[in-house]
Amino acid sequence: MIPLHQAIYSSVKSSYLCLIVMNDMSDEISDNKFESALRVNDGVEQPSQVDENAVKLFKTKRKELLSVDEYVDGILNGNRTILSQAITLIESSLHTHKLLAQQIIERCLPYSGNSFRIGITGVPGVGKSTFIEAFGTYLTGKGHKLAVLAIDPSSSRSHGSILGDKTRMEELSTDMNAFIRPSPAAGSLGGVARKTRESIILCEAAGFDIIFIETVGVGQSETAVHSMVDFFLLLMLAGAGDELQGIKRGIMEMADAIVINKADGDNLLKAKTARIEYQNALHLFPPPDSGWNPEVETMSARLKDGMDRVWDILQRYRELVFNNGYFELNRRRQMKLIMYDAIEQMLTDHFYDHKGVKGEIPQTETDLLGHRISSYQAAQKLFNIYFSKE
Ligand code: GDP
């Protein structure tokens, strides 16, 4: 574990170190290497400046944990440092931190729910961070308060996520009306998703009225993001072919809007053609129960062109689903889904944590692979051990 102060100085010197300061108690939560408060990301360019939050947190590093009241007051007053520290508690693997986080969440819940939650997905390179930077500043320019969160399950493999990285969004990261939080470090998708969902509650209580949740458009994380947002935006490129873009049919089906990025220069015409093709393709999907017909638009995040068209889509969607009751219906469905997901997760964790089950798994696998028992019998055997009284 790198001491916090050392890591801060390294981030200035090194060309590849990107410091993500998660809290003021990094030493204490280092019991799990994947849950480190500090994560070092490979392949990210040197940040242009030291993260001011990091410095502030560094100065208060040795401070005791705040009381629940202090966290809650800080969040409700829109204090971004305290919000950041509270999210760190959500992400911590320490039991005491988790308990504290739950109390804070409970107190913030009555103040949550008032944002427009927007999921943003697309394969790496499509222009997500350029878009978030451009569209984010467009929105804060309109007086909105924007929080950018991320879900990147691949971080469990690469030991570090770049999604939501502030160095990718330089303008937005210095914007007082924006709050950028990188993807929680590693863990199961379910675990990462839970942390992001809980972070949404705190961000909303802190007064952020628009929340972006960014994810990479290649895997299951889309389903997780879809289950926590009001609107799902898919970024695509013209002429890259769906397969090349790794976009699965299911992801397109979830999209409330497809925005074709990089509609500039030589690419402009191709983007316009792609727009018509995607629009036609979307008509083939069954109509969503939101009553909204997904739309396709073009933009250039680099030239900041098309931001008003994207905003127009989002506003019209919101108006429609507010009025037809879908907004509320969807939120309620999501809340139930989260509860059942949580139950499944708890049961699974409990099962695999069971001492007897843990001890018996290797032999059961050997018996299974030696064709001595069937997969079903193997599962039943472990299940019986789980329910035995020992
Ligand atoms: P991400 O991996 O999806 O976050 O993609 P980035 O935002 O990092 O963009 C990948 C590359 O595409 C970068 O080199 C961007 O400068 C470039 N890019 C992003 N948006 C546009 C755009 O609208 N037009 C053009 N021509 N390039 C863009």
- Please give the number of the atom of ligand 1 that sits closest to the Cα of 299: 23
In this prediction, what percent of the chain has a pLDDT beyond 70? Answer: 76
- Strands 146-151 vs 231-237: parallel, antiparallel or unpaired: unpaired
Ligand 1 pocket mutation, candidates 45, 128, 130, 154, criterion most atoms within 8 A of CB = 130
Please state, in angstroms and rounded to a whole number, the distance separating the CA atoms of residues 191 and 187: 6
Smallest CA separation from ligand 1 atom 14, residue: 125
Residue of the CA atom closest to atom 9 of ligand 1: 127
Distance CA 233, CA 136 (A): 14
In the structure, what pLDDT confidence band is assigned to residue 170 with cuts at 50, 70 and 90? confident
Give the residue, by CA position, lying nearest to ligand 1 atom 5: 127
Q: Please list, residue by residue across 114-144, b when 16 or more beta carbons sit within 10 angstroms of its beta carbon and e when fewer do.
A: ebbbbbbbbbeebbbbbbbbbbbbbbbeeeb
Q: Report how far residue 382's alpha carbon sits from residue 65's, in angstroms, rounded to the nearest whole number.
A: 41
Which mutation among 302, 307, 309, 310 tests ligand 1's pocket best, with the greatest number of atoms within 8 A of CB?
302
- Residue 53, pLDDT score: 53
If we measure between CA atoms, which residue out of 181, 207, 256, 180 comes closest to residue 77? 207
Is 301's C-beta closer than 6 angstroms to any atom of ligand 1? yes
Q: What is the pLDDT of residue 105?
A: 96
State the distance from the centre of ligand 1 to the C-alpha of 262, rounded, in angstroms: 7
Average pLDDT, the chain: 81
Read off the pLDDT band of 36 (50, 70, 90). very low
Q: What's the pLDDT at 288?
A: 87
- For the ranges 10-24, 27-41, 371-385, the maximum mean pLDDT occurs at 371-385
Q: Which residue's CA is the closest to the ligand 1 atom numbered 25? A: 262
Q: Are 298 and 272 a contacting pair, CB within 8 Å?
A: yes
Residue 8 banded pLDDT, cuts 50, 70, 90: very low
Verdict on whether the full-model pTM lies above 0.85? no
Model pLDDT for residues 276-317, shown as the tens digit of each residue:
988 888 888 888 889 999 999 999 999 999 999 999 999 999
328 Cβ neighbours under 8 A, 6+ residues apart: none
Residue 188 has pLDDT above 90, yes or no: no
User: Poorest-confidence range of 21-25, 63-67, 165-169, 383-387?
Assistant: 21-25
Question: Nearest residue CA, atom 18 of ligand 1?
Answer: 127
